[in-house]
Every structure is written in C-alpha cells, then in structure tokens.
Structure 1
Amino acid sequence: MALKKQRIAPQTGAAFQINAGERLRITDPDGAQVCDLIAFDRRDTRHALSSGRSIDYANNIYLSTGDTLYSNRSEPFFEIERDDVGRHDFLLTPCSPETFALLYDDAPADHPSCFMNLVENLAAYKIEPDQIPTTFNIFMTVGVGADGELSIERPRSKPGDCIELRAMTDLIVGLTSCSAEKSNDGSFGPIDFEVLRDA
C-alpha cells in the first residue's frame, strides 16, 4: 500500500518522514539520473546516516541488495531489499555551491546543488546545514583506480529502474534529483519515490 508518492523535479529535492517497517522505493523514470539520500533519527537528529559505518561493516564500497545502511551510532537505518542497478556511491558528498566554484569552470553562481536542496527541505525539521554528512548517492557510478583516483561515470540506471529500502527505525529522509552535470551524464531528469507499507 502506497502511503506517499511524489516526483522530484530535476535539480530539486524533498524531505519527509518514514516509519520503522515501511519501505522507500526510489525510481529513475528516465534513466541515468542520480538521487542523493540522507536520513536522520526522528528522536534525535544528531543521529544520522553514516557512510563510514556502512562501508566499514559491509567491507565494501558498493552497497546493494542485502546490505544495511548504518548510522553514526552503528544502528541500522535501512536494509536494501531490492536493487535493479546494483551500483551506487557512498564516497562523495552532495554537490554544493563550492563544488561548482571549484570543479566547474563555467557554472553560474546560482547553480542548483544537492546540498542546498537538502538544506532548504530539511529546514522544516530543524536540521542545520552542518548536520548534513556524506549522502548515499543512488544510481551514481564512481570508479576507483588502482592508484585511488576516482572517476565519475554515466549512471547505469535505465528508465524505470528502482531501489527499495526498508526503514529500520523512524526517520526523517532527504532526497534530491542530483544537480551535478558530471554525475548525470550531462543532463537532468526527475526522481520518483514512494513510501510503502506492506498489506
């Protein structure tokens, strides 16, 4: 049963609540579009999703079906139950105004960014900018060379591909349709999400 269904327009974001046991389905309707995800414990927003803990406990930088996304207090936030793509990034921070100033030669000063979209949407939950850590970058393909150099590649998601995560505790979730040209193969599309409860 769908409790919430929404389309995130290109280069924008959303924030909402999800209860323990509910599923979050994130779909790429057009293909090759990244979605940044972050989550906070509703009881204490200092308790947040952690890239470092999740990668450490999985012993893998590429998290997929069967893996757990952990918090900074080593508590499970999400279980990945379905993953049509199997390749996501948990290394890079959300793109920000500084990203475009430092890494894009011709970006305008008002270029949309995932960080600012998260800041603006999570403000309703009194989450401050400095609380936003590394996001789980769904559908983003980042290669790691033998020398440690990173390469951003075209997302592998095809139209209609999705990932489903089951919430393990009551959460505040922030999502974006990523704003960085390099992450999305030079174009931008929407992201769809649903909050589902088993019948």
Structure 2
Amino acid sequence: MSRTQVPPATAKAVRVAAGDLVRVIDVEGGQVGDVFAFTEAGTGAELTEHHSAAHTRAAIDRLFPAVGEAFATDRRRPILTLVEDTSPGEHDMLIPACDPARYAALGAPGHRSCAVNLREALDELGLSFAGPTPQPINVFMRVPVAEDGRLSRLTASSRPGDAVTLRAEVDCVVVVSACPQDLVRISDADLSPLAIETVHNGGNPA
C-alpha cells in the first residue's frame, strides 16, 4: 500500500492499474475533494478519455453511484467502482470544479482552484489534458436538491478519517484536489488536507 498526502488547496495524481483500490481520505474532517479520473492507454503523455458525470448518471439512473455501482467515462466505459464509503454518504456530481473565472466573479482573482490544481498535478507526472476541465466527482460535498429543483451548497459533514474507496476498472490516472474554495463554505471552517491510499492488485486498505 502507498499513501500520498494532498496538502490543503492543492492536488496530487496517482497511477493505478485495473483491479487496484484507491481510497480518498478526509484526514481532519469537513474537507471537500474534487476527484478526476482518466484512462491511460498507450504511451502518449496527453490524456483523452475521462470520467463523465453525465454518462455516469445515464448509466445508473441516479445523481451519484451507490456502493457497488461504477462511474463511467465519456466513452460509456466503467472506469471506477465505488466499493466502500465510511462517510455520511453525501457527495456530488452536479457542481463544476472551481476555476479562475469563478474566483474572479467572487472578487478573488488569482485564488487557487481545482481546475488549475488538476493541470499542475498531471504535469507532475508528465501528463496533460487538452480538453475543458471535466466535471469532477465531488467527494464529501453536500449539494441537496429541493423539490423545486433548486440546489444548495452546505458545509461538508464528513468526519476525521472518513473515506471513499474506489476500484479501478481500467488502467487510469486519478487526481484528487483538496478543494481550495474558502469563500463559499462548502468545507469546514479551515481548509485541510486529504490523503490518497492505493492498494495494488485489489488488496484491502489498512
């Protein structure tokens, strides 16, 4: 097993093989994480196929997978399966990754963002993605949908050590951003770290 620390407001990328487990851990509690996943086919440095929230919703007929269900790519292939969730189970695939334009609109130009974090994390592995920032898997993010369709953004209810565990269905690159959004309180009072644990060949995380 390997463990990668994701400092507050930054992101890290890990390579995993089909059958490996990836656990995303909220170290201190109350921290939203943006998770991105890309298939890694061939030897090229530019990634193309990626997790798609829209294709996942079409495949499972719900807003977010239940344990045992898979996230799909933009080519409608399973990429990750949710195999365990020790958190309260409140996650989101409706809200896009925060980006420079979002912070400029909030009066904070130059603020760190998950969109930029994603590119920086891929660059650390010598990889790139030329398309628009994919819709992330927003773990620990509370976005309830009211009967009239209105969305709310509530503070994360995850506790220290809460985690989601994903099984890679194909060789892929997983990026986890400890979301830097501190102007809208989706995370708890202070930004905090996340951690990524990877277990090769489908073992059980410690």
TM-score normalised by L of structure 1: 0.92
Match of residue 19 from structure 1: 17
Match of residue 84 from structure 1: 86
Q: Does 1:110 align with 2:110?
A: yes
Q: How many residues align?
A: 194
Alignment of 1:109-148 (within 5 A): 109-123=109-123, 124-128=125-129, 130-148=131-149
Counterpart residue type for residue 110 of structure 1: G
Match of residue 73 from structure 1: 75
Counterpart residue type for residue 62 of structure 2: N
CA RMSD of aligned residues (A): 1.5
Q: Is the 2:33–2:194 contact (alpha carbons within 8 Å) kept by the matching residues of 1?
A: yes
Match of residue 149 from structure 1: 150
TM superposition shift of 1:125: 4.0
TM superposition shift of 1:188: 0.4
Distance 1:54 1:143, change over 3 A: same
Alignment of 1:91-106 (within 5 A): 91-102=94-105, 104-105=106-107
Distance 1:118 1:129, change over 3 A: farther
Match of residue 55 from structure 2: 53
Gaps of 5+ in 1: none
Structure 1 stretch 54-63 or stretch 17-26: which is displaced more?
Answer: 54-63
Q: Is the 1:11–1:112 contact (alpha carbons within 8 Å) kept by the matching residues of 2?
A: yes
Match of residue 8 from structure 1: 6
Gaps of 5+ in 2: none
Q: Look up the SS of the partner of 1:141 in the other structure.
A: coil
Match of residue 42 from structure 1: 40
1:31 alignment partner, one of 17, 29, 32:
29
Q: Deviations over 1:77-116 (max 9, x none)?
A: 01111011212111111101111122x24x2x22111110
Q: Deviations over 1:46-95 (max 9, x none)?
A: 21101001111111113231221011111110111101121211111110
TM superposition shift of 1:126: 3.3
